[in-house]
Amino acid sequence: MYFDRHFSLITGYRFLLKDVIKYIAIIDYFFDSKYKILDIGCGRKPYKKLLKKSAAKEAGADYVGLDVCECEYANPDIIGNSENIPCDNSSFDAVMTVFVLDDSFYIKKTFCEISRVLKDGGYYFAFEAQSTSIHNPPFDFFRFAPNAMIELAKEVNLELIRYDTYGGDFANVGFGFISIIRNTLSSLRLEPLLGPIFYLPINVIFRLLDLIGRLKVFRNKYKNNSLGYFYIFKKVENA
């Protein structure tokens, strides 16, 4: 199982999990030889298994996980935070964050640190939320629209290569249903018993609707209310 209990099938976010896995799995294809990647906010390193040598290339990840502590929820290789990364300048070919930036209050410092530890020509892969419920209090500060991410990155010599949405209007509706059902059943102490009965059909129905909404005929109209985005930035040399 990837992530934690909130991303397992039984709690209802399976369609988001599929998008995360799909995007992280492509990181390996940006490198023709072995590369070193820093996973900021690694938790128990659920993404490490997705970064592996592909059949077509000699690529493969030398993976380093960073988190704020070693505990039940985190098993990092190094302890630190995104605003003060305890690594040398230009020490990584890639950096990745997955639902991490919203926990950083000094967000400009985080971007500076990401750029600092990246080699010139290195890549920053970010999977971040634009719309989600309040979580992890008191460490939940921001949501990120594309223009904000692009401008923050530009200030530290990170150039946008591409970005894609995950979860449009239909996914937002599905998430809303899941949240309402979970809160109601939890209050009645029935969530463990009845939750899966509701979550599974919601996943199936709204995942399908989300995929249909991405067809070209709809001209991206159902992507505007996106849950979030997957970004790829490349570090450019100082002018």
| CATH code of the region 5-168+224-235 | 3.40.50.150
Eight-class DSSP state of 138: T
Q: What is the pLDDT of residue 219?
A: 80
d(CA 63, CA 65): 7
Residue 90: other Cβ atoms inside 10 A = 14
Hey, what are 182's tokens?
Answer: 């979970």
Statement: the pTM of the whole predicted model exceeds 0.75: yes
CB-side exposure of 48: number of CA atoms within 13 Å? 16
**Segments of the chain with pLDDT less than 70:** 1-15, 53-59, 238-239
**N-terminal to C-terminal alpha carbon distance within the chain:** 44
Q: What is the pLDDT of residue 96?
A: 96
Domain spans of the chain? Answer: 5-168+224-235, 169-218
Q: What is the pLDDT of residue 40?
A: 96
Q: What is the pLDDT of residue 54?
A: 55
